[in-house]
Amino acid sequence: MATEMEKKVQDEKAPDHTVGPDVEHGQHHQQASLARNLQGRHMQMIAIGGSIGAGLFVGSGSSLQSGGPASLIIGFIIVGCMLLCTVQALGELAVLYPINGAFYQYGVRFIDPAWGFAMGWQYAIGWLVTLPFEITAAGITIDYWHHYNIGIWIAVFLTTLIIVQFFGVRGYGEVEFILGIIKILAVLGFIIFGIVVDCGGVSSDDRGYIGFRYWNDAEHGNKAFRNGFKGFCSVFVNAAFAFGGTEMVGLAAAEAADPRKSLPKATKQVFWRIAGFYVVSLLIMGLIVPNSSPDLLNSTGANTKASPFVLAIQYAGVKGLPSVFNAVITISVMSVANSCTYGSTRTMQALAQGGMAPQFLAWIDKKGRPVWPVIIQMVFGLLAFINEAATGPTVFNWLLALTGLSSFFVWGSICLSHIRFRAGWKAAGRTLDDLPFKSQVGVYGSWVGLSLACICLVATFYISLFPIGGSPNAEAFFESYIAAPIVIALFVFWKLWTRNWTFGVKTSEMDLDTGRRDFDEIPQSQAAERRGSLRKLSRAIF
C-alpha cells in the first residue's frame, strides 16, 4: 500500500481539481468542482478585514501589559512586514496557479510532498480547533451586557454558521463582505476617537492632554518597554494570532471568478491594512490606555471587559459607546469563526483530492460545497459545549496550543515555496515577463519573510522556555510550543507512509504547468492592451 501511495504522490503533485481523483486510474468519473463565485469585492474584503477579530480587539491588551506600547507596535510591525512579504509571494503563485489547496499544494510541488502534507494538515487542524474557541468567544461577549448560560449562545452561533454553509462559498463571501465593512468602520472610528481623547478633546475625561504620557511614567509603572527583552518577545504570538487568516485570500483563489484581476488588487491592499488598521489603531490605543492597568491582566480570548479598545472608551468616560464596540467585537469573532469553517473545509478537501486524506473528503456536491469537510468542521464546533464542564478552560488551552505557531509555519512555507518556484522557473528557461503578476518585493522579499518567520519562532521558543516572571515549566512550554513537534511528527509520518526518504523537489523536476489558468494568453493580452493604450495616446497627442 505504501508503494501505491508513493506512486500516487509522485504522479499527482498537482492534480487537476476539476475532475475526481479516479481519473488518473483510467476511470473518467466527473466530479463537481468548487464554485467560482467570489467576486473582486469579496476578495478585497477578505484581504483587508477578513481576520480583524479578537486577536486585535482583545488579545492586544495582554501584549500591551506584558511588553508595553513600544514593544507592541514594533512587534506588530515586524510580523506585519513578514505578512506583507508572504502575501506578495502568495499573490504571485495564486494568480499563476489558482488551484484548490493553494499553499499546501505549493509546498508539495516546490518544497517536498511530506512538508506540504504536514503544512496542509497542521493548517486544517488549526482551524478545526479554533472554531469552537471562536464560538465560545462570541458567547462570552454577550456576558458584557447580561449573564446568560453560555450554552444557549453557543447553540445560536453554531446554528448561524451552519445556515451560512448552505449558501456555499458565495455565503462565505457575502458574510465576510458585510462584516468586514462593519469592522473597518469601527477601527476607523476608534482611530478618530482616540486622537480626540489623546489631545484632551473629551469633556468627560479629566486626564486632559495625554500625549505620550504612558510611554514614560515610571511613577505609575507605565513604560514604553515592559519586562525587557522577554516582554518584547511575548508580542509575536499575539501578533501572529491577530494577523492570522490573511493568507485565506490565496486559499480563496480557487473559487474566485477572476483571480488574475482580483488577487493582485487584494494583495496590494495588505500594506494599507497593516499600516492603517493595525499599527495606527494600536499606536492610538497604546497612547490612551495605561499599560500598567490591572484591567489588562485578563485580556485574552474574548473577555471584552478587558479589551483595551473598550477600556479606552470607558477611561474616557463616554457612556454607551463601550456597548457599541462590544457589539463590534461580537461581529468580529463571528467573522473569524466563518473564516475558520472556510479554511479548514477547503484544505481538507484539497488534501483528499491530492491523495493525502481519506477520499470521501474530496466529494463536492452540485453546488460546489465540500460536504463531508463541512460536516466534520461543524462536529468540531460542538466542542464549544465543553465550557459547560468545570475542566472546559483547561481542555481549550491545550486545543489552542495546537494552533499557537500555525501562522509562522504557514507563512514561512509560503515564502520558501515562492523562493523554490522562482528557482525552478529560472531553471526551465522562463523569464519573469512570462508571469501574469510579480511579487512587488520580489524573491528578496520572500527571503526576508522566511527569515522573520524563523526569528519569530526562535523568540517564541525563548519566551516559552523562560516565561515572564516565572521559571522554566514543562507544561507551560508545551502549551505554547506543542505545534512544532506536531508538524515534525506529521512530516515524519508521511515519509514513513510513502517510504520516500529523499528531501526536496529538484528544480529540474518541478511541475510548472499543471493548474495554470490561461497562462499562455496572459502576457500576450497584457502586451496587446499596452500597445493599444499607447496608440490611443499617440493619436490624442498628434
Query: What SS3 string covers 51-96?
Result: CCCHHHHHHHHHHHHHHHHHHHHHHHHHHHHHHHHHHHHHHHHHHH
Q: What is the total residue count of the chain? A: 542
The answer to whether 116 touches 109, Cβ cutoff 8 Å, is yes
The whole-number pLDDT of residue 32 equals: 56
The whole-number pLDDT of residue 503 equals: 85
More reliable by pLDDT, 54 or 393 = 54
Model confidence pLDDT, tens digit, residues 462-510: 888 888 877 788 877 887 788 888 899 999 999 999 998 888 889 988 9
The answer to whether 406 touches 123, Cβ cutoff 8 Å, is yes
Mean pLDDT is lowest, of 409-418, 492-501, 508-517, for 508-517
The whole-number pLDDT of residue 14 equals: 39
**Cα within 13 Å of Cα(250), Cβ side:** 30
The answer to whether 54 touches 302, Cβ cutoff 8 Å, is yes
Query: What's the whole-model pTM score?
Result: 0.84
Q: What 3-state class would DSSP assign to 38?
A: strand
The answer to whether 86 touches 411, Cβ cutoff 8 Å, is yes
CATH architecture assigned to 2-541 = Up-down Bundle (1.20)
For cell 448560560, name the residue: 149
- In sequence order, which residues have a C-beta less than 8 Å from that of residue 325 and are 6 or more positions away? 57, 186, 190, 307, 309, 310, 313
- In sequence order, which residues have a C-beta less than 8 Å from that of residue 540 and are 6 or more positions away? none
Model confidence pLDDT, tens digit, residues 247-283: 777 776 666 667 677 677 777 777 777 777 788 999 9
The whole-number pLDDT of residue 300 equals: 63
What is the share, in percent, of the chain residues with pLDDT greater than 90? 23
The whole-number pLDDT of residue 15 equals: 38
What mean pLDDT comes out for the span 137-161? 80
More reliable by pLDDT, 33 or 198 = 198
Model confidence pLDDT, tens digit, residues 213-255: 999 887 778 888 998 888 998 898 888 888 877 777 777 666 6
What mean pLDDT comes out for the span 112-126? 91
Q: What 3-state class would DSSP assign to 222?
A: strand
- The residue type of 32 is A
The whole-number pLDDT of residue 517 equals: 66
The answer to whether 344 touches 366, Cβ cutoff 8 Å, is no
Rounded distance, CA 64 to CA 308, Å? 9
Q: What 3-state class would DSSP assign to 256?
A: strand
More reliable by pLDDT, 104 or 496 = 496
Average pLDDT over the chain, rounded to whole? 79
For cell 510550543, name the residue: 481
Q: Which helix (H) or strand (E) holds 216?
A: strand 216-217
Rounded distance, CA 71 to CA 231, Å? 7
The answer to whether 246 touches 270, Cβ cutoff 8 Å, is yes
Cell of 227: 519586562
* Max avg pLDDT among 86-95, 234-243, 339-348, 389-398: 86-95
Q: How far is CA 518 from the centre of its chain?
A: 28
Rounded distance, CA 332 to CA 287, Å? 23
Q: Which helix (H) or strand (E) holds 350?
A: helix 321-353
- For 232-250, give the DSSP string: HHTHHHHHHHHHTTTTHHH
| Distances, alpha carbon 438 to alpha carbons 265, 361, 478, in Å | 12, 34, 39
* pLDDT band, very low/low/confident/very high, at 110 (cuts 50, 70, 90): very high
What mean pLDDT comes out for the span 78-97? 89
The answer to whether 125 touches 401, Cβ cutoff 8 Å, is no
Model confidence pLDDT, tens digit, residues 432-464: 888 888 998 999 999 999 999 999 999 888 888
Backbone angles phi, psi at 82, to 5 degrees: -60, -45
* pLDDT band, very low/low/confident/very high, at 538 (cuts 50, 70, 90): very low
* pLDDT band, very low/low/confident/very high, at 40 (cuts 50, 70, 90): low
Q: Which helix (H) or strand (E) holds 223?
A: strand 222-223
Which spans in 225-320 are helix H?
A: 228-233, 235-243, 248-251, 259-268, 270-272, 281-288, 308-315
* pLDDT band, very low/low/confident/very high, at 5 (cuts 50, 70, 90): very low
The whole-number pLDDT of residue 184 equals: 84
The whole-number pLDDT of residue 38 equals: 62
User: Would you list the domain boundaries of the chain?
Assistant: 2-541
